[in-house]
């Protein structure tokens, strides 16, 4: 709609400028006044269109930036969750290794405990 109004204003502006001298000075001043008003309206239209274009462009850029930030936040959340899962898996693996180490030490210590006692007994019996 604004584009059609601008075309109509431009047509009226050109029509008023192209009017031939029919009357006297008052009619020419009236034509000049209407031509100046139409010219000012055309300037306003150009300014308004210029502003709308840059607002649209800024809005589009802002939307792109917001989408980029949303994607980055989503990626950060996924990475944070993956890191948390890796840390949790590492803790579980460490606990499992610790449990295996304790059971193997207990098993080895109990198996070697009898040998050391036998050796100590034999050494003790030899020394006595």
Exposure on the CB side of residue 70, measured as CA atoms within 13 A: 6
> Which candidate, 35, 33, 40, 29, places its Cα nearest to that of 17?
35
CA–CA distance, 24 with 13 (Å, rounded to integer):
20
Q: Give the model's pLDDT for residue 115.
A: 53
Question: What is the pTM assigned to this prediction?
Answer: 0.39
Q: Give the model's pLDDT for residue 2.
A: 64
Q: Give the model's pLDDT for residue 1.
A: 59
For every one of its 128 residues, what pLDDT tens digit does the chain have, with 9 covering 90 and above? Answer: 566 777 777 777 677 666 665 556 667 777 778 778 878 888 888 888 888 888 888 888 888 889 999 999 999 999 999 999 999 999 999 988 888 887 776 665 555 555 555 555 555 555 54
CA–CA distance, 55 with 29 (Å, rounded to integer):
38
Q: Give the model's pLDDT for residue 80.
A: 92
CA–CA distance, 124 with 118 (Å, rounded to integer):
10
Domain boundaries, the chain: 2-127
Q: What angle do CA 63, 64, 69 make, to 5 degrees?
A: 95
> Which candidate, 48, 58, 55, 59, places its Cα nearest to that of 1?
48
Measure the N-to-C terminal CA separation of the chain; round to a whole number of Å: 119
Is-contact 38 12, C-beta < 8 A? yes
């Amino acid at each position: 709609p604004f584009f059609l109004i601008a075309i109509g204003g431009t047509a009226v502006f050109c029509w008023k400028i192209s009017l031939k001298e029919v009357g006297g000075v008052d009619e020419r001043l009236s034509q000049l006044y209407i031509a100046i008003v139409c010219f000012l309206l055309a300037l306003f239209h150009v300014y308004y269109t210029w502003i709308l274009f840059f607002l649209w462009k800024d809005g589009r850029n802002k939307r792109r930036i917001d989408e980029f930030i949303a994607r980055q936040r989503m990626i950060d959340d996924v990475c944070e969750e993956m890191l948390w899962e890796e840390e949790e898996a590492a803790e579980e693996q460490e606990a499992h290794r610790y449990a295996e180490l304790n059971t193997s030490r207990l098993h080895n210590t109990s198996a070697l405990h009898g040998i050391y006692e036998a050796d100590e007994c034999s050494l003790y019996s030899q020394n006595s």
